[in-house]
Structure 1
Amino acid sequence: MSDLYFTTDLFSQFDRLHQQMATLFSGLPSSIRSDRLSAFPQINIGTTDDTIDIVAFAPGIAPSQIDVSIDKGMLTIAGERAGVTSGDAGDGNERTRRYAQERFSGPFRRTIELPQHADPDKVEARYVNGCLHISIGKRESSRPRAINVQ
């Protein structure tokens, strides 16, 4: 039986490998349900004791062009964002040909999985200054409550 000796610390090599792997995969989604980085509309989700609040950033879209629905615990925000024509680009010249476009246009759909304690019968949606505010009530059984000790 021979003794094996390593000239470097094996655990430091594993640590270095772990850091390299973390750096390699840091830009990828953390789960299979994660959306791509350029998903539209971008959203913020928060919660209070009584509601789940979602803000979808959708400037330049008429409220009548946005559809919000809940089915089987999934909230879907869908609609269509009109494109900008050459004459609308702000240059006043309809002959201008566009060679770069950073603003998304066309149909969109964003689906968000809701927590189990979301109550689909208690939903309010309003569109203010380019932001779609959706408030979903929580079920009574999931709300915090004080319990008297006897």
Structure 2
Amino acid sequence: MSDLYFGTDVFSELDRLQRHMSSVFNGFPSSLRSSRAGTFPSLNIGTTDEAIEIVAFAPGIDPSKLELSIDKGLLTIAGERAAARPAQEEGARAYAQERFNGAFRRVVELPQQADPDNVQARYVDGCLVITVGKREASKPRAITVQ
């Protein structure tokens, strides 16, 4: 027999503790480059020798409603995604809704080698692909030994 007694089920207490800890740390990213859960649109950022590529996963958005700007090394992606609701009977209420809708804005700090005058953006299969060229001085180059 154990001397330890819980007034309720142990597993429900562990579940309550996990929910409490999640709510306490929910607003804090796990690293400087990560964002909090549920941030829209999700981003992938990568680099090559020639450019920096940002892919924003934004399905269901009219590309003409997207706004992109670069100012002082910050790339801003803004827009709005309309609610997509199937035809419902009058008085029906949603049971669960996981799809984000509404206005959004994401800001990405670009590295110093980014060239704000050399930017291209295209919308392909629900993804906004932004390519920011690098400055010539920052590109790798071979040096000949004499």
TM-score by shorter chain over 0.5: yes
Residue of structure 2 in register with 1:29 after alignment: 30
Q: How many residues align?
A: 119
Give 1:28 shift. Answer: 4.0
Structure 1 gap segments, 5+ residues each? 1-24
**Identity rate, percent:** 65
Report the residue type matching 1:94 in the other structure.
Answer: E
1:97 and 2:93 aligned: yes
Give 1:34 shift. Answer: 4.0
Q: TM-score w.r.t. structure 2 length?
A: 0.76
Report the residue type matching 2:43 in the other structure.
Answer: I
Bigger Rg over Cα? 1
Superimposed CA distance per residue, residues 19-53 of structure 1 (whole angstroms, 9 cap, x where no aligned partner): xxxxxx8x84222x642122110011111110001
Give 1:100 shift. Answer: 1.4
Superimposed CA distance per residue, residues 108-150 of structure 1 (whole angstroms, 9 cap, x where no aligned partner): 0000000000000000000011000000000000000000101
Residue of structure 1 in register with 2:144 after alignment: 148
1:61 alignment partner, SS class: coil
Superimposed CA distance per residue, residues 81-122 of structure 1 (whole angstroms, 9 cap, x where no aligned partner): 1013xxx32xx4332321211111100000000000000000
Residue of structure 2 in register with 1:123 after alignment: 119
Structure 2 gap segments, 5+ residues each? 1-24
Measure the CA separation in 2 of the matches of 1:48 and 1:116: 14
Measure the CA separation in 2 of the matches of 1:117 and 1:140: 9
Residue of structure 2 in register with 1:42 after alignment: 42
1:137 and 2:133 aligned: yes
Report the residue type matching 1:146 in the other structure.
Answer: A
Superimposed CA distance per residue, residues 44-89 of structure 1 (whole angstroms, 9 cap, x where no aligned partner): 11111100011100000000111111000000100001013xxx32
Measure the CA separation in 2 of the matches of 1:76 and 1:128: 19
Residue of structure 2 in register with 1:19 after alignment: none
Q: TM-score w.r.t. structure 1 length?
A: 0.74
Measure the CA separation in 2 of the matches of 1:65 and 1:123: 18
